[in-house]
């Protein structure tokens, strides 16, 4: 009985192999015609960086001292980003991350006061930023920091939303110009 089942399985496998190999080769068909999306949002999934811009002011720091740099966010009209801290822990806070080194470090970052607004997609009012907002980055220079000008790479993590939906979080990259005196 076992031998008969093995023989049937082998016969079936061979039959499939022969039928697959005996098919004629066809010319590849042309891909379906591309359709033109009707809006830029239809072209790619919307990312938060499409609705937010960031720029940083220069900081002049005395060796052994501190100075403030300002990261200015410009949020497109009709959109907002979550504040820092956000209303709920599952929301993505707006966050500035500065890469330090060469004798320069971040003393602290001050986020602005938020607006509290109610949106249709949330059960309770949310803490957000809209329009233009300034995030203050207090930088400090070690006494041994080399004098001169440099740029500190920075990132701003944001999640933009309109009054109905939130978009994929994104990261804006910028540089903070720093001069050590």
pLDDT confidence of residue 45: 59
pLDDT confidence of residue 120: 84
- In sequence order, what are the beta bridge partners of 152? 176
Closest CA to 134 of 76, 82, 58, 57: 57
* Size (the chain), residues: 181
For residues 48 and 158, the answer to whether their CB atoms sit within 8 Å is yes
**Integer-rounded Cα radius of gyration of the chain:** 29
Q: 163: which DSSP letter?
A: S
Helix (H) or strand (E) segment spanning residue 141:
strand 132-141
pTM, rounded to two decimals: 0.74
pLDDT confidence of residue 160: 95
pLDDT confidence of residue 121: 82
Q: Which domains, and CATH codes, for the chain?
A: 46-176 (2.60.40.1250)
Each residue's pLDDT tens digit, 110-169: 999 999 999 888 889 999 999 999 999 999 999 999 999 999 999 999 999 999 888 999
């Amino acid at each position: 009985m076992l031998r008969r089942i093995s023989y049937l399985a082998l016969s079936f496998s061979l039959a499939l192999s022969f039928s697959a190999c005996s098919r004629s080769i066809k010319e590849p068909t042309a891909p379906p015609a591309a359709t033109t999306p009707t809006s830029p949002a239809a072209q790619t999934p919307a990312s938060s960086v499409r609705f937010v811009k960031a720029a940083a002011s220069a900081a002049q720091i005395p060796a052994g001292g501190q100075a403030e740099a300002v990261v200015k966010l410009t949020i497109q009209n009709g959109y907002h980003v979550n504040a820092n801290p956000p209303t709920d822990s599952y929301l993505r806070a707006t966050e500035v991350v500065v890469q330090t080194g060469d004798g320069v470090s971040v003393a602290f970052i001050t986020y602005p006061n938020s607006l509290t607004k109610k949106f249709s997609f949330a059960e309770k009012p949310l803490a957000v930023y809209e329009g233009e907002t300034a995030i203050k980055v207090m930088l400090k220079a070690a006494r041994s920091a080399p004098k001169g000008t440099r740029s500190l790479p920075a990132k701003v993590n944001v999640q933009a939303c309109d009054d109905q939906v939130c978009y994929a979080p994104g990261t804006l990259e910028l540089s903070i110009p720093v001069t050590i005196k």
